[in-house]
Homo-oligomer: A and B are copies of this chain.
Amino acid sequence: MTDFRITILGNGSAVPTRKQHPSAQLLQYGHRRFLIDCGEGTQMQMLKYDASRKNLSHIFISHLHGDHYFGLVGLISTLHLFGREQPLHVYGPEPLEAIIRMQMRASDTRLKFPLMFHVLRNTDVIYEDNVFEISCFPLNHRIATWGFVFREKEKERNLRKDFVRRYTPGVEQMHLIKQGGDFALPDGNILKNEQITLAPSLPRSYAYCSDTAYDKNIVPFIRSVNLLYHEATFDDGMAEVAAEKYHSTARQAAQIASEAGVGKLLLGHFSARFSDVSPLLDEAREVFENTLLSKEGMTYTVPDSS
């Protein structure tokens, strides 16, 4: 099965501490390298955790609070200094492009590679290739903020090897069978698709929800994803502060995970006030058992549906 995993480069909230870096994650799917958020110091975190910077192709910025994007301009500058030539796509709310371009102008930098900005404005599919797609949807935060769902497309059925060996179907025939077609034998008999193929694995999916208040409106967008990263800035005792600041508690993150019927919940965006975040895990597990605390530098495989 194709590698599908997330490396946490930073999972702290607003103020960096000795232990916590601001939000950034590297998503790997096969050869694809996508960055989700890019707080200050992300390029150094990529160095620290051996995440290649030059293979990055797309960067997704959830919103324009500094702890989610202040590292973007530095990363772009470094890619330029490395002599990058291949395009880099950046997705984010306005005025992200203006902010970056202004700083490029101030340093009299003419980028050696095409830097393509894509403004997030509506719930939409924002990336698509033959096997993978990415969509965005609105979160509930103090300023315009977007969640992202990264998912495999529906896969083709797999041809049974014994069938291929025995009947040696042509290329065009194999293509049709993978799409669900049957196979006509020379004698006019039909082999039904389910006799000659195996069901593919179910498409896997990952959702990123940071930052957001507790809001059931996001549930339809993340329903049944295999792995959900949801912010848990505060704990139960601070539910009022969380609501006021448009953040969530760990219990609320678990409630969303439960409502959405996700496979696994990964908590992050912890407030700097917690020297120990394990109580957040206990709190979330009371509501949704399959919960983990994200850890900086750790890589999480997106589980399949089995």
| Complex contacts, A108 vs chain B, CB 8 Å | 142-143
A selection of 17 A-B contacts at a CB cut-off of 8 Å is: A15-B82, A16-B78, A17-B47, A21-B44, A40-B44, A40-B70, A41-B44, A64-B103, A65-B107, A66-B74, A66-B77, A70-B73, A70-B74, A95-B102, A99-B102, A99-B103, A99-B106
A110 sits at the interface (CB 8 A): no
A98, B102: Cα distance in complex, Å = 9
Residues of A within 8 A of B (CB): 14-18, 21, 40-41, 43-44, 47-48, 64-67, 70-71, 73-74, 77-78, 81-82, 95-96, 98-99, 102-103, 106-108, 142-143
| Complex contacts, A70 vs chain B, CB 8 Å | 40, 70, 73-74, 77, 103
Q: Copy number in this complex? A: 2
A17, B106: Cα distance in complex, Å = 24
> Assuming the A-B contacts A99-B103, A102-B95, A103-B99, are A15 and B66 also in contact, with contact meaning beta carbons closer than 8 angstroms in the complex?
no
A41, B143: Cα distance in complex, Å = 25
Shortest beta-carbon distance from A69 to chain B in Å: 9
| Complex contacts, A15 vs chain B, CB 8 Å | 78, 81-82
Shortest beta-carbon distance from A214 to chain B in Å: 21
